[in-house]
Structure 1
Amino acid sequence: MKQIKLYIIIVSILAVGFLYCKQSRKQLTHNMDKNIVFSGVDATGTSVRITQYPANIVSLAPSNTEILFDIGLGASITGRTRFCNYPPEVESIPIVGGFVDINVERIVALQPDLVLAIRGNPQKSITELRRLAIKVFALDPKDITDVVRTIKDIGNITGKKENAEILADNLARRIEVVSELVKTIPVELRPKVFYGDWKSPITAAGINNPIDSLITMAGGINIATDSGVSWPHYSFERILAHNPDIILSGFKNKEDLVKDQDLLLEEIRNDMLWSKIKAVQTNRIYFIDEDIVMRPGPRMVDALELLARYFHPDKFNVRAKESSRVLSH
């Protein structure tokens, strides 16, 4: 009888202890969850947890940098790439390398709370930063269709969710306005567009790149999609066969372009081959700031609207000038 009582007492103690431990673990997990302000999987497939919103951020892509400024976090950026050149305020921010030549030591010295990367950054550098206990979240925006989502992702991870949603929703509405108007335009009324160089070897914007998406969404037909690759070498014979209605060409230095634009246009118009193209004959040659068409950030929506206005001036209530002009923002 005594043995039975002893057995019951022992079982009771163990049961109470088990329940206490279970409750303690549950409470610990709950407390840990309460301390996590962000949890998600980034573009590299890595699970990232943030326990405190970052005050010091290193940006490894121009699109990330522009988004951070637009949601009110410009002052929190303590490091950038040499390609992060907008807005002008970035000039005072230390440089930590480029896209592929990231200086891990410089980043570590800045002691960032968060490194905002993109999938195109070297995996080796990302892995090394993580090994050194630095939080890295990689994004993978490819074109304008990814801009809204990327802005919201950055807002969530940085604690600027409200600002990010306001910006993202505004951009989404602007994209929708263009999309709805373009839907009303028959395919046969959409201009054939060539984006690329005019000096040999000619490189064109083909398929699966940001410019192709912009041309299509703005109501144009990209002639170089027949190449089957993103950035093909494109022969003049193929351009002549398509005879594009519009020619777009990117530039990097606006000051030089503004100064030399008339000379460039004169050179194209007097060229024995290019003068045969409809776009040249009708003065529909436009020079575009490469940054706004190549970076999947907020200004890409500006580029979409600008292209739509030049492709379809009647639909977008903007009278296209007879002469060529610079498209930039």
Structure 2
Amino acid sequence: MRVISLCPSNTEIIEYLGLTHLLVGVDDFSDWPETIASLPKLGPDLSINMNLVEKLNPDMVLASLSVPGMEKNVNQLKERGIPHIILNPQSLSDIEHDLITTAEVLGYPERGMRAAERFRTRVAKVKQKGSNNHRTLKLYWEWWPRPVFTPGKLNWLTEISELAGAVNLFQDVEFASVQTDWEDVLRRQPDYICLVWVGVRRDKVQKSIIKKRPGFEKLKHLNDERILILEEELYCRPSPRLLDGLEKLIGLIQK
């Protein structure tokens, strides 16, 4: 089959299934695994060039709704009659399900079942590590600084936080994404600040930016070590690589 992926998390699911050799094109932001570097790039995930997609004559396109605005791509796929499936995982169980669904659609159902079992087993093992933390740490995840965007209850980072033996600072808000402000963050008194600015390289994110914010000194137990600059690709993409991020997070906060 000739397969196209329209977002990084889909590309990573394909790799986890061991089916990367089927890919004939990917979005501009797909950067893992390195073997896809030579594939045709079809534009940013929010604005895919559908003319290029059609030229590649795909048997199946893996679309996504994991980021607001991706509906545009899905609508164009429908209008042009391009065969596709839509993935929209919001939890680890959703990712497990998508491994099975994707493998079935691509004609490799057994790979999907094996991959799902491998994923499920790893989640269980990591959960055991996280349960060793007897403190309830509050994690503030920052997706974007101005205006402040952070994950709410209906996002995988709430689950990732819990598996690490902590809680998402905004788990009480019944949304996947929450727009708030720094004053609200201060009131909630996080134990750790986890910076995962979407689309920004880690070397461009500085702890000093946070420390200069008004009222930072009110977070009495926070210091440089509790401001974590994390890899966006390990926390902001709903793929099996979230478990890599989870294991790293456990190592950072369980000291």
TM-score tier (shorter): 0.7 to 0.9
Partner of 1:118: 64
Alpha-carbon distance in 2 for matches of 1:267, 1:142 = 30
Partner of 2:123: 175
SS of the equivalent of 1:192 reads strand
Indicate how the Cα distance of structure 1 residues 251 and 197 shifts in structure 2: closer, same or farther if over 3 A, else same.
Answer: closer
- Maintained 8 Å contact 1:244/1:279: no
Partner of 2:196: 250
SS of the equivalent of 2:14 reads helix
Bigger Rg, which one: 1
- Maintained 8 Å contact 2:138/2:191: yes
Match status 1:196 vs 2:147: no
How high is the TM-score relative to the length of structure 2?
0.83
Given candidates 299, 307, 311, the residue that maps to 2:241 is 299
Match status 1:95 vs 2:41: yes
Indicate how the Cα distance of structure 1 residues 138 and 266 shifts in structure 2: closer, same or farther if over 3 A, else same.
Answer: closer
Partner of 1:324: none
Counterparts of residues 247-326 of structure 1 (less than 5 Å) = 247-251=193-197, 257-258=202-203, 264-269=206-211, 273-281=215-223, 283-311=225-253, 313=254, 320=255
Amino acid at match of 1:306: K
Unaligned runs of 5+ in 2: none
Match status 1:157 vs 2:105: yes
Select between 199-208 and 172-181 the one with higher mean Cα deviation.
199-208
Amino acid at match of 2:202: L
- Maintained 8 Å contact 1:279/1:285: no
Indicate how the Cα distance of structure 1 residues 199 and 89 shifts in structure 2: closer, same or farther if over 3 A, else same.
Answer: same
Higher relative contact order (CA 8 A, sep 6+): 2
- Maintained 8 Å contact 2:152/2:170: yes
Amino acid at match of 1:150: D
Indicate how the Cα distance of structure 1 residues 228 and 279 shifts in structure 2: closer, same or farther if over 3 A, else same.
Answer: farther
Alpha-carbon distance in 1 for matches of 2:147, 2:103 = 42
- Maintained 8 Å contact 2:131/2:163: no
Select between 90-99 and 270-279 the one with higher mean Cα deviation.
270-279
Indicate how the Cα distance of structure 1 residues 197 and 274 shifts in structure 2: closer, same or farther if over 3 A, else same.
Answer: farther
Given candidates 112, 135, 139, the residue that maps to 2:87 is 139
Alpha-carbon distance in 2 for matches of 1:183, 1:173 = 16
Alpha-carbon distance in 1 for matches of 2:143, 2:78 = 38
- Maintained 8 Å contact 1:193/1:220: yes
Give me the CA root mean square deviation.
Answer: 2.8
Indicate how the Cα distance of structure 1 residues 270 and 121 shifts in structure 2: closer, same or farther if over 3 A, else same.
Answer: closer
Residue-pair matches, total: 250
SS of the equivalent of 1:283 reads helix
Partner of 1:127: 78
- Maintained 8 Å contact 1:240/1:276: yes
- Maintained 8 Å contact 2:207/2:224: no
Unaligned runs of 5+ in 1: 1-53, 314-319, 321-329
Match status 1:212 vs 2:151: no
- Maintained 8 Å contact 1:252/1:289: no
How big is the shift at 1:191?
Answer: 0.2
How big is the shift at 1:77?
Answer: 0.8
Given candidates 81, 92, 104, the residue that maps to 2:27 is 81
Alpha-carbon distance in 2 for matches of 1:126, 1:191 = 44
- Maintained 8 Å contact 2:5/2:27: yes
- Maintained 8 Å contact 1:114/1:135: yes
Match status 1:166 vs 2:108: no
Amino acid at match of 1:135: P
How big is the shift at 1:85?
Answer: 1.9
